[in-house]
Amino acid sequence: MSLLVVGSVAFDSVKTPFGEVDEVLGGSATYFSTAASYFTNVSIVAVVGTDFPDKHLLFLKSRRIDIEGIEKKEGRTFRWKGEYGYELNEARTLDTQLNVFQAFKPKLPEKYKDKKVVFLANIDPDLQREVLQQVKEPALVACDTMNFWIGGKKGPLLETLKLVDILLINDGEARELSGEPNLVKAANIILSYGPKTLIIKRGEYGALMFSGKKVFAAPAYPLESVFDPTGAGDCFAGGFMGYLANTMNFQEANIRKAIIFGSVMASYNVEAFSLDRIKSLDYSEIEDRYMEFKKLTHFDDLG
C-alpha cells in the first residue's frame, strides 16, 4: 500500500567536525520519502521555489516517489543552515529561511486522496490537519512535531494529536509536551491526548515505544563514524512508516519490527552528508543491518 507524506523539501547547509556542505538536498519529506522508498511507493506533498533544480526531482522520481504533490512556486526554496559539535547530538541552527514554505497551503492531487497511510512531518499543526482532512479514509496516521509548535501552538497541536495513531518525537519534546520529566509518566500523559502509540527518539541512545501498557526499547546501531546526523529522525520515520505501509499490519509486534527498520535507515543516513548514503542502498544491506540489530540486542532466556 502506498504512503503519503507532507513535509519540507529544502536546501541544507551543514557543518560537522568532519566536513561541510552547502545547499545540498534536504528537508523532512525528502529524507522520509527516500528512506520509505525501499519499502513502498511514496507520494510527497510539499512546496519548492523556482530555484529548485530538476535533477533533485528526477532523483526522487528514480526512487519511485510520486512528486505530483510537490508544488513549484514563484520564489526561493526553504533553506536551513546548521552546525554540529563533536558530540553530534544536537544541531545549532545558524539560519532558517522559510521562503516559499512560509505561505505553504498543502493541496492534495486527486489521486493522493485515497492514500491509506499518512505521515505528517514536522510542520504547523494546523497544516497537518488541513492535509489530513483531504484524505478520505486513512487507515494509519502518524506525525512528528517540534518544540517550536509545542511552545507556540499547543492548542492546534493537541487538536492534531486527537486524529493521530502514532506520534514520533524526541525525548526533550516528550518532556515539554507533557510537562513531566520522567519519560514513563510523560508517555502516559501523551497517550491520553489521543495517539495509541508514542515513539520517543533518543538519537544515539535509540528509541522507546509506548503502546497501551507495552514498552519496547530499541538501541541505536553503534557506529564507528557518525558523519552527519541531519535527517536521521526523518529517515527513522521513513523506514518505520514504509515498513508499516508495505505490510499493512499495525499490530504491536509489527510496530516493533518497523522501529528496527527505522533504526536501520537512520543508522545508514548518518554515515554521510545529505542523502549520499541512503540514496543507493541495496535492500540486502537493510536486511543485513536488521540482523545486526538482532545480534546486538539478543540475550538468552532464564535457565
What's the closest the beta carbon of residue 107 comes to a second copy, in angstroms? 39
Question: In this complex, which beta carbon is closest to a second copy, that of residue 137 or of residue 224?
Answer: 224
Which one of 224, 282, 283, 284 is in contact with a second copy (CB under 8 A)? Answer: 224
Give me 249's grid cell: 499490519
Question: In this complex, which beta carbon is closest to a second copy, that of residue 45 or of residue 208?
Answer: 208
Neighbours of 67 (CB within 10 A): 19
202-to-173, 246, 299 alpha-carbon distances in Å: 10, 25, 22
According to DSSP, the β-strands at 197-201 and 92-97 are unpaired
Site for a second copy in 247-266 (CB under 8 A): 253, 256-257, 259-260
Give me 102's grid cell: 512560509
Question: In this complex, which beta carbon is closest to a second copy, that of residue 149 or of residue 243?
Answer: 243
What's the closest the beta carbon of residue 217 comes to a second copy, in angstroms? 4
Question: Is residue 145 within 8 Å of residue 124, measured between CB atoms?
Answer: no
CA–CA dist 158, 160 (Å, integer):
5
Which one of 35, 42, 164, 208 is in contact with a second copy (CB under 8 A)? Answer: 208
According to DSSP, the β-strands at 70-73 and 42-49 are parallel
What's the closest the beta carbon of residue 183 comes to a second copy, in angstroms? 7
Q: What angle do CA 36, 163, 208 make, to 5 degrees?
A: 55
Site for a second copy in 135-194 (CB under 8 A): 181-185
Which one of 128, 202, 231, 266 is in contact with a second copy (CB under 8 A)? Answer: 202
Which one of 137, 225, 282, 284 is in contact with a second copy (CB under 8 A)? Answer: 225
According to DSSP, the β-strands at 140-144 and 117-120 are parallel
Neighbour-count burial of 196, counting CB atoms closer than 10 A to its CB (0-12 exposed, 13-18 middle, 19+ buried): middle
Give me the count of residues in the chain: 303
- Span near a second copy by CB under 8 A; candidates 115-123, 143-151, 191-199, 223-231: 223-231
Site for a second copy in 33-92 (CB under 8 A): 86-87
- Span near a second copy by CB under 8 A; candidates 70-78, 109-117, 119-127, 207-215: 207-215
What's the closest the beta carbon of residue 240 comes to a second copy, in angstroms? 13
What's the closest the beta carbon of residue 133 comes to a second copy, in angstroms? 34
- List, in sequence order, every residue forming a beta bridge with 119; answer none if it has no partner: 5, 142
CA–CA dist 207, 221 (Å, integer):
11
Binding site for a second copy (CB under 8 A): 86-87, 181-185, 202, 205-206, 208, 214-219, 222-226, 253, 256-257, 259-260, 287, 290-291, 293-302
